[in-house]
Amino acid sequence: MHIAMALLLPPSTTTTNLATVSCNPLLSSSSQLTTYRWSQTRRVTPKNLCNTSTNDDQPTPQKIHIETKKLDRRNMLLGLGGLYGAATTLSGRYVTLAAPTAPDVSQCGPSILDNGKTLYCCPPKPSSQAMDFKLPKISPYDLRIRPAAHLVDDKYLEKYSKALALMKALPNSDPRSFKQQANVHCAYCNGGYHQVGLPDLDFQVHGSWLFFPFHRAYLYFYEKILGKLIDDPNFGIPYWNWDHPDGMVMPSMFNDPKSPFFDPIRDQTHLPPKVMDLTYDGPLVQPYNNNNMSNNDQIALNLTIMYRQMVSNAKKPTMFLGEPYRAGDQPNPGSGSMETQPHGTVHTWTGNPPPNTPSWEDMGVFYSAGRDPIFYAHHAQVDRTWSIWKSLSPKNKDFKDKDFLNTYFYFYDENAKLVKIYVRDCLDTKKMGYIYQPMDLPWLKSRPIPRLHLKSLKSSFSKVKNAVAAEITVPTITFPKALDHIIRTNLQKPQKSRSKPEKYEEEEILVIEVESRHDLYSKFDVYVNDEDEIPTRENRARTEYAGSYVNVPHKHHNKQGDNGNNLMMKTTMKLGLTDLIEDLGADDDEGIDVIFVPRTGTENLVIKDVRIEFLC
C-alpha cells in the first residue's frame, strides 16, 4: 500500500516526571528502554517487586521509583535512528523501544509457506488515505447480538448464507471479498508486515497482548461488511460455543456441502457427532499419547480445561491477555492462557493434518485459517471469553499501558475505505455496538480435583512420606534441555505457607521459557507432583495438570533476507500455581516436582529455563 508516512507515525505522547512501579504485572515503565534478553537459569526467584505499602509517600524495599524526563516519545524514537528508531545493541539486536508497535502497511510483502514458496496475501492498494476509526453512537437497544451457532434458526441461516455468498461473489480486487478477508489473517500473522521503521522485525499479532484486540477489530469489520451486503446493520455473526457441552461438536451449519459455510479442507474424523477435544494433541503417534476417553469423560475434561484457562491460569492480565509487545520486540513474547488453549488446539482440531495437507490447512495454520468460514465463529467465541474473563473478578482488567492502548491496525470497512483502529477502541463490545447471546457457564463449577481426594491424600501422605522420600528422589535439572523425552525436575518454592491475602495479591506462577520451531504444530503438557511414570491424557482433568504449551504453525522472518528459513522462536508461558498447590495440600512443602511430557512436534523443542515467581 502507498500511504502517506505521516499516517503511520504513532501519536505524540508524553511521560510523567515520576513513574512508580508498584505491583505492576508488566514490571516496566512506558518511559524506559529495556534490552531484549533471556533470563539466566535460576531455581529461586529474587524478591518480588510487589508493593506491600498502602502509602505512596512511604516507599518500601519492594517499591521501585524511576526518574524520567518529560519528552516526546516520537522525537525520542526518531533520535534513536529513523522512524520508531533503529536502535540496536552492540551485538546487533534491537532494543525494546518504549513505544507501541505497529504494522508498516506501506511495505506489505509476501508470506513464506512451509514448502518455501511465497504467497502474496496483501490487501489491495487503497484509493485514499486511511481514516481514524470512530466508535459508533448506538443505544443499548440497538446492539447487534451474536448468537450461539448451535442455536440459530432457519431464518438466521438464510440471512447469513446470503451475506456470505455475496461476500464470496465479490471480485478478488475488492478488499471486502472473502478472499481478501481471509488474506487479512495471512498478512498480519504470517510475516506479511514488518514493524514500522524496523524492517528486520515482523509485526505479529499472535503470542502477545495484541491477540485479543486484533481479532476483535478483525471480526468487527468482517461483520459490518456482511451486514452491509444484505442491508442489515444489526446482523451479528455466530459464535462457536465450545465452552458448553451443547456446543462441543462442529456446528451443523458449517457441514452442509451446498452452503457457503462449507470447507472441505477439515479433519474428516472430527465431523459431527464427534465430541471435540480442547486439549488436542494431534493425530501423530507419540510414545506418550493415547485417547480412549468416552464422550462424557471428554466433555468433563473440556470443562475442567475451561476452568483452568479462564480462572486458575488467568489470575493476572499478563496470564490471560499475553505478554507486552512493544516496538523493537521479537515476535511471540508470550501467549495468554486462552490463546494457548483452547484457541490453538481448536484451530488444529478443525484443520486437516499432514500428510492429508502440507501444513494442516485450512484452520490449522495461520496463513490459511481465514479461508474456512468456521474461523470467524471460532474467533467470535474467543472474543466472547475476553468479555467473560473481565466479568469474573474485579482484578480481571485490561492493561492501562499506553504502549498497549496506542497500538493500531488497518482494516477495510463496509464501504471499502481503509480505517486505522487503535487497541483503545477495542476494549468494550458494547461501545463497538454488539453483545453475545447469553449462555450458561458450566465450567465455573468444574475446578479440577486431585487424583486422590485431598483428605485421604493428606492421611496417606503422612503415613508413607518417609518411605516414599527414601525411594523416590526427583533431581533438580539444569536447563536448557531438549524435550525429546519426559523431563522431571524439582523446584524449590520461594515461600511456604502463604496467607490468603498474600495469595490474593500475588499469584505464584511457573515461568517456562521455550525455544521451538514456529512452523510446526508443537505441544507439551506440564504436570506438578504427578506420580505416574507417564502422565496420561486423562490426568489433564486433575489438579496435577498445570497446563500445556501449544504452537499453531506460522512463519515469520527473524532476520533481514533469511526468507523465513530461521525457524526457531523463543517465547514464554506462565502457569498458575496458587490454586494448584493449595488443592494438592502442598503449601508447606519445600518444593514441587515439575514434569514436562512431550506430545506433538517437540523433536526440536528446548526448555530454556523453568522457575517459580510471584506475579502482582
Using CB atoms within 10 A of its CB, is residue 392 exposed (0-12), middle (13-18) or buried (19+)?
A: middle
Reading phi first (left if > 0) and then psi (alpha if -120 to 50, else beta), residue 523 is in beta
Please report where in the chains the cell 455466530 appears, as a residue.
238
Selected catalytic residue, list 150, 343, 378, 554: 343
CA 545 to CA 529: how far, in whole Å? 9
Q: What backbone phi and psi angles, to 5 degrees, belong to 429?
A: -65, -35
Is 185 designated active site? yes
Question: Is 215 marked as binding a ligand?
Answer: yes
Selected catalytic residue, list 178, 212, 214, 366: 366
Question: Is 518 marked as binding a ligand?
Answer: no
The DSSP secondary structure of 488-539, one letter per residue, reads: EEEEE-S-SS--HHHHHHSEEEEEEEEEEETTS-EEEEEEES---SS--GGG
Is 557 designated active site? no
Selected catalytic residue, list 150, 206, 270, 518: 206
CA 588 to CA 145: how far, in whole Å? 49
Angle of helix 178-189 versus helix 154-169 axis, rounded to 10: 80
Selected catalytic residue, list 150, 194, 244, 347: 347
Q: Are 93 and 198 in contact (CB under 8 A)?
A: no
Is 194 designated active site? no
Question: Is 347 marked as binding a ligand?
Answer: yes
Is 379 designated active site? yes
Selected catalytic residue, list 194, 244, 379, 554: 379
Give per-residue burial for 409-444: e unless 16+ CB within 10 Å, then b: bbbbbbebebbbbbbbbbbebeebbbbbbebebbbe
Give per-residue burial for 507-540: e unless 16+ CB within 10 Å, then b: bbbbbbbbbbbbbbbbbbbbbbbbeeeebbbbbb
Please report where in the chains the cell 499479532 appears, as a residue.
205
Selected catalytic residue, list 133, 150, 185, 524: 185
Selected catalytic residue, list 150, 194, 214, 215: 215
Question: Is 185 marked as binding a ligand?
Answer: yes
Annotated binding site for Cu cation: 185, 206, 215, 343, 347, 379
Q: Mind telling me the catalytic residues?
A: 185, 206, 215, 343, 347, 366, 379
